[in-house]
Structure 1
Amino acid sequence: MGAAAAYPVMMDEIKWGIIGCGNVTEVKSGPAFNKVPNSRLVAVMRRDGELAADYAHRHGVPRWYDDADALINDPDVNAVYIATPPGSHTDYAIRALRAGKPVYVEKPMARNAAECEAMNQVSRETGVPLFVAYYRRSLDYFLKVKELIDQKVIGDIRFVDIHLHTQPYAEEVGEDARPRWRVFPEISGGGHFHDLAAHQFDFLEFALGPIKTAHGLARNQAGLYQADDIVVANFEFESGVLGLGSWCFTVSKEQRIDEAYLLGSQGKITFSFFEKFDIKVETAAGTETYTIPYPQHVQQPIIEAIVNELRGEGKSPSTGESGARSNLIMDWITAK
């Protein structure tokens, strides 16, 4: 990240404020802020004050706001978690960074690579750290995949193949369809591809190194909303590893698939990015399966790493600089 190392003040206790206490914060992230040592959730904000108050009451949070600046300027808040849709990430992050508050922002980091760079530029200028919620970098399941790669259990990696095919969300079909923000590009940057492939490309770079080129086709086939609903891509890592991917969000439930595999010179690793907890390793010696469930609060390990960095006791594996890479790759693929 660059800026984090230059941050001049090591904190004793990290006192978090959340901007956008919506669904993602109910289980995945919100409770973790109070479960990590030396960390507390002290304030939440949502534009609908009643919903903010309800969240605060249910989660035992001392204060709530319906104005982001009020939370950012709360003297008891010394770090800000931004969990709004991507369209507002850049604005809120820059406001918090300029106020001297380290920022942890949801993924995708922003709508496009240019917005990510604007955030990183302010982090570099101010020396205030910026982190991104690419929590797979800290989950035991994905750390096991990386360990298998690093140990060359299947030899040298030659090829990566990703398939994510799923049925439309219930609110996207029928006469009364009311698609949510993820499929409005002006809010999300794209469609479900931008929301989900962001995780995939971030982990692949974490495990295999930088992707140097990526090309693709993105189309809307079903007409359920304005965003692309199918994407195909090929990509190449600086190491020479090649990759293919396909993402389709309008198939039947029976055709649903969430699978990735790594083909090596001496075997194959098959795993899932979102739904399954098994990792299958196939080599000449046979097949071995590892089953590693996610923790109750999937963001807790990465939040703990961020807290440790802010206390001068470690490093977060996900930063603003690394987080921007997924947006850049998706921009290449969708030709933005």
Structure 2
Amino acid sequence: MEPIRWGIIGCGDVTEVKSGPALQKAEGSELVAVMRRNGALAEDYARRHGVAKWYHQAEALIHDPDVNAVYVATPPAFHREYTLLAAKAGKPVYVEKPMARNHEECLDMLSACEAAGVPLYVAYYRRGLPRFAHIKQLLDSGAIGDIRFVQSVQLQTLRPTAGQTLPWRMQPELSGGGLFVDLASHTLDILDYLLGPIGEVQGFAVNQSGQHQVEDLVTSTYAFQSGVIGTGAWCFSSYTRSDSNEIIGSLGKISFSTFGEDVRMELADGQIQALTIPNPPHIQQPLIQRIVDELRGVGRSPSTGVSAARTNRVMDELLRDFYKSI
């Protein structure tokens, strides 16, 4: 069976440990080319990671006949452009999260891939991690009974930005928003995986610190199509760092963090189950393996363009009024 031969567009920090080595180590997968606009940095990455080819133009990588799948690891501002180019070339696409800057760009990407007959995947890699598979098994088995609601809180201390160039994650023209888009997208997507799609969304987005132009507090109430209700608060100018999710059912609750490794289940009868399920060394590898398996006809990926676009829609609903006002 022919291997999946990947080319990376944008071989920056996220590809150093999380994804690049995973493309090389997944069964039936090879990393054959990388691209970065700075050719010297692309060459350096290729040398350090043992990759045969490097480019400084995306089009050259996409049209390399040795590349039969493209991984877009740039900031979100470029996801749509490179996805459309790869789709036109007839090559499957794996794109970093969030899928794009907004839901409209996601729809363009979906349409282009559908028209070209190529699959589109998104790097919401928590869908592939054993920890979340365990949580989903608990929920699906009825371990905590009928699910009533979920509540999520993420706190971070303020990142000083005065007199500094803002990281791209805090430049809406590149990322689609602030840290909410970069970090809360993981939580919203994994809740979609665990509890199904979110329907109606209401909330507020504000900037309280006044130290930059992007949102630093977002609160939300949302209703899943299943009838479960959710609430969330994401504050990036808090006194401390915290990350918690609780799914409450008729018989108990499951507690976990989006970015940690612990899972705790408490039942009404007093039973407590606490587990630590470590992340793999290359955190994207389980999802990449599922994608490679699907491309080779022996499995199915839990993260697709269709599922990822739903998360962008939810974020658009929460941020729309904030960005209209600035």
Please, what TM-score do these two structures have when normalized by structure 1? Answer: 0.93
Choose from 88, 96, 100 the match for 2:78. Answer: 88
1:208 matches 2:195: yes
Q: Deviations over 1:162-181 (max 9, x none)?
A: 00000133xx34x5433200
How far apart are residue 224 of structure 1 and its match?
2.3
Choose from 166, 174, 198 the match for 1:187. Answer: 174
How far apart are residue 289 of structure 1 and its match?
0.1
Choose from 153, 156, 161 the match for 2:151. Answer: 161
User: Letter of the aligned partner of 2:69 in structure 1?
Assistant: A
1:295 matches 2:280: yes
How far apart are residue 319 of structure 1 and its match?
0.8
User: Letter of the aligned partner of 1:43 in structure 2?
Assistant: A
Structure 1 runs of 4+ aligned residues shifted over 3 Å read none
1:226 matches 2:210: no
Choose from 7, 10, 15 the match for 1:17. Answer: 7
Partner of 1:332: 317
1:17-96 superposed matches below 5 A: 17-96=7-86
The separation in 2 between residues aligned to 1:251 and 1:54, in whole angstroms, is: 38
Partner of 1:30, secondary structure, is: helix
User: Letter of the aligned partner of 2:26 in structure 1?
Assistant: V
The separation in 1 between residues aligned to 2:129 and 2:307, in whole angstroms, is: 17
The separation in 1 between residues aligned to 2:103 and 2:219, in whole angstroms, is: 20
Q: Deviations over 1:176-214 (max 9, x none)?
A: 433200011111001111111111111111111111111
User: Letter of the aligned partner of 2:247 in structure 1?
Assistant: L
User: Letter of the aligned partner of 2:316 in structure 1?
Assistant: D
The separation in 2 between residues aligned to 1:224 and 1:31, in whole angstroms, is: 37
The separation in 2 between residues aligned to 1:178 and 1:244, in whole angstroms, is: 33
The separation in 2 between residues aligned to 1:45 and 1:121, in whole angstroms, is: 25
How far apart are residue 220 of structure 1 and its match?
1.0
Partner of 1:107: 97
1:280 matches 2:264: yes
Partner of 1:52, secondary structure, is: helix
How far apart are residue 33 of structure 1 and its match?
0.8
The separation in 2 between residues aligned to 1:186 and 1:226, in whole angstroms, is: 12
The separation in 1 between residues aligned to 2:207 and 2:303, in whole angstroms, is: 32
Choose from 258, 261, 266 the match for 2:246. Answer: 261
User: Letter of the aligned partner of 1:40 in structure 2?
Assistant: E
Q: Deviations over 1:86-117 (max 9, x none)?
A: 00000000000100110000000000000000
Partner of 1:8: none
User: Letter of the aligned partner of 1:154 in structure 2?
Assistant: I
How far apart are residue 247 of structure 1 and its match?
0.4
Please, what TM-score do these two structures have when normalized by structure 2? Answer: 0.96
Q: Percent of counterpart pairs with the same letter?
A: 54
Q: Deviations over 1:217-264 (max 9, x none)?
A: 111111222111110000001111111000011123xx2110010111
The answer to which of 29-38 and 276-285 deviates more is 276-285
Partner of 1:80, secondary structure, is: strand
The separation in 2 between residues aligned to 1:224 and 1:29, in whole angstroms, is: 33
Q: Deviations over 1:126-174 (max 9, x none)?
A: 11111000111110011111111111111111010000000133xx34x
Choose from 271, 276, 293 the match for 1:308. Answer: 293
The separation in 1 between residues aligned to 2:38 and 2:123, in whole angstroms, is: 24
The separation in 2 between residues aligned to 1:86 and 1:335, in whole angstroms, is: 17
How far apart are residue 285 of structure 1 and its match?
3.5
Partner of 2:324: none
Partner of 1:135: 125
Partner of 1:246: 233
- How many pairs are equivalent? 320
